[in-house]
Chain A
Amino acid sequence: MKRRSVIDIFLGGSLAATIAAFLYPVIRYILPVKTTGATQTSVTAAQAGELPPNAAKVFKFGSAPAVLVNTAEGTLVALSAVCTHLTCTVRYDGDTGTLFCPCHNGRFDLAGNVLSGPPPRPLETYHVEVSGADIIVSRKS
């Protein structure tokens, strides 16, 4: 009889430990996460007024860089900044109003079209929306 009750305690105790071991990750999972951008379908690329005309900013969109350009005329455009040649990051050239890849001299216009150089495909363009003080960039559906 005594042996049985020791086993019962052992059984009850290990069961409790098992339940606890499973509840811990579940509870931590449910508690909210402290990081930004749950889903990278849209990102706040910049604040309104942050970019002067004829200037650009590279920002992270999903897992790749993207570029937000404030054109000389004051319109905002956003494109993927991954050069379609060998994935270097393109940068904005204010003198010519084009996106330029420093690796092999590839050049794109602000609609993403290849103007010159080795890139074989155009850059993907994104949708830009100004919402209050934020400039939000999202993928075109």
Chain B
Amino acid sequence: MKIPLIRYFVAAALFVPLAAFGQKNSCLDCHARLEDELKAPAAAFPGDIHAQYGLGCEDCHGGDPSQDDVDRAKDKSFKGSPKRAQVPQFCGGCHADASAMRAYNPALRTDQLNQYWTSRHGQLLKTGDTKAAVCTDCHGVHGIQSAKYPKSQTFPWNIPQTCGRCHADKDLMAGYKVPTDQLEDYRESVHARALFEKKDLSAPVCNDCHGNHGAFPPSVTSVASVCRQCHPSTGELFTKSPHKKAFDDLGAGECEACHGNHKILAPSTAMIGTDDRAVCTQCHDKGSRGFEKAAEFRRQLDGFETGFRAAEDLLVEAKKKGVEVSDAEYRLGDVSTLLVSAKNLTHGLDEAEIAKAVNDGEQSLAAVKAAAVKALDEARFRRRGLAVVTAILALFGLALALKVRAMARARRGEGSPGSPGPEPS
């Protein structure tokens, strides 16, 4: 019979738009019509990474999203929102289950929950302190984005803010024996400048040194290993130096003792030496061998650096005067590398090595300085040449002007071709 067939077609056709637009979701539909905190999940969820994997409200909260009636929707399977203390297990329900996660993203790690329990946050939470951070504090909830995307709360340049929301809050952190100036200090550091100004995503943020899920302040002895991740040559030099044993005996954190931990500023030769700004005098008293060596290293580096800045200034001046100096600039770049490497060598405290580096650098610098001087000579030559040519042209112009005037006078006297006759002068 034709009619039932057509009915099937019509019914199927009616379902097509539903299939195209996805399942009915009464949770989102209702919550979108509510206000403030009840509306927020519905507004944020479409951008959530879980939504992109095809998950819905019911996959975490239970309930039946196909039901319009709120009591029917919140059926027996409905779990509601977990309390803070239960959040880690709530998320871990999937994220700590390797076979469950394999269905969605096989490459994603599943040890975050385990790591979390080793962290300070996890330990505090176990004791019943619900002020401690849980998953949603860092990752957000309902609008969670992959940490690879810039809007994610765990994207590198958002992490200081995310951690700072608690750790820079004096009132919240009262009672824990932890300072609250880390964020402020970090923002002044060279790492923060690299991250926020140069947009260098490889610059370290809180989790690079503290860990993220297993976050814990590094112990005094492990700070240095953390720094060595990006600064291995400096670390090697330090390990070979007499400071290593001395610091270990003192129980002092290696890099941290001189460079700080959060407010790590760009190092300069001012850190070495015997004046107030130098770090050496923290331990080495006047007259000691260390004191003498510090003064010597500073003297050598200062000499090299002053020479470098002088050569740089000369090149800038020549360039401003219009002379092409890209070759000299290239060689200056090499000398700059030598200067940085000489400064780096101070971590090794090897007199001979440092002296050789400074010496090599100063020799290369001599070549650059010669090129800069040559460039300035060229600038002078050009200006002199211009003066000479301008003088010649001025004379020529004067000769022309005189000739023109003389001819005009002569013509006025004789009567020039085409003029009506001699004019009264």
Contacts and interface: CB of A to CB of B under 8 A. Distances in A.
Indicate if A touches B (C-beta under 8 A).
Answer: yes
A10 B400 CA distance: 9
B318 to A, nearest CB: 16
A11 B403 contact: yes
Contact of B200 (A15, A65, A118): A118
Interface string B336-373: 01001100000000000000000000000000000000
Given A18-B392, A104-B231, A8 B403 contact: yes
Given A4-B406, A102-B233, A118-B230, A10 B392 contact: no
Contact of A85 (B202, B329, B334, B402): B202
B327 interface: yes
B373 to A, nearest CB: 18
A34 interface: no
A3 interface: yes
Contact of B396 (A8, A14, A65, A86): A14
B326 interface: yes
Nearest to A9: B399
A86 B340 CA distance: 13
A105 B393 CA distance: 61
Interface string A81-124: 00001101100000000000011110000000000011110000
Interface residues on A, range: 20 to 34
A118 B388 CA distance: 55
Contacts of B230: 104-105, 117-118
A26 interface: no
Contacts of B202: 85, 104, 117-120
B360 to A, nearest CB: 15
B400 A88 contact: no
Nearest to B407: A4
Interface in B390-422: 392-393, 395-396, 398-400, 402-403, 406, 410
Given A21-B388, A104-B230, A60 B330 contact: yes
Nearest to A86: B200
A59 to B, nearest CB: 12
Nearest to B230: A104
B217 interface: no
A64 B327 CA distance: 9
A105 to B, nearest CB: 5
B201 interface: yes
Interface string A47-86: 0000000000000100111000000000000000000011
Given A17-B395, A60-B330, A105 B389 contact: no
Interface in B200-244: 200-203, 229-233
A73 B340 CA distance: 34
A86 B49 CA distance: 33
Given A21-B388, A120-B201, A11 B399 contact: yes
A104 B329 CA distance: 23
Contacts of B203: 118
Interface in A1-41: 3-4, 7-8, 10-11, 13-15, 17-18, 21
A112 B162 CA distance: 35
A118 B340 CA distance: 19
A7 B229 CA distance: 82
Contacts of B340: 103
A64 B230 CA distance: 24
B326 A63 contact: yes
Contacts of B395: 10, 14, 17
A21 B389 contact: yes
B407 to A, nearest CB: 9
Contact of B392 (A7, A21, A103): A21
Given A3-B406, A4-B410, A10-B402, A88 B232 contact: no
Nearest to A102: B233
B311 to A, nearest CB: 17
A39 to B, nearest CB: 14
Interface of A: 3-4, 7-8, 10-11, 13-15, 17-18, 21, 60, 63-65, 85-86, 88-89, 102-105, 117-120
Closest A-B pairs by Cβ, 3 of them: A118-B202, A14-B396, A11-B399
8 contacts: A7-B399, A8-B403, A11-B396, A14-B396, A86-B200, A104-B231, A118-B200, A119-B202
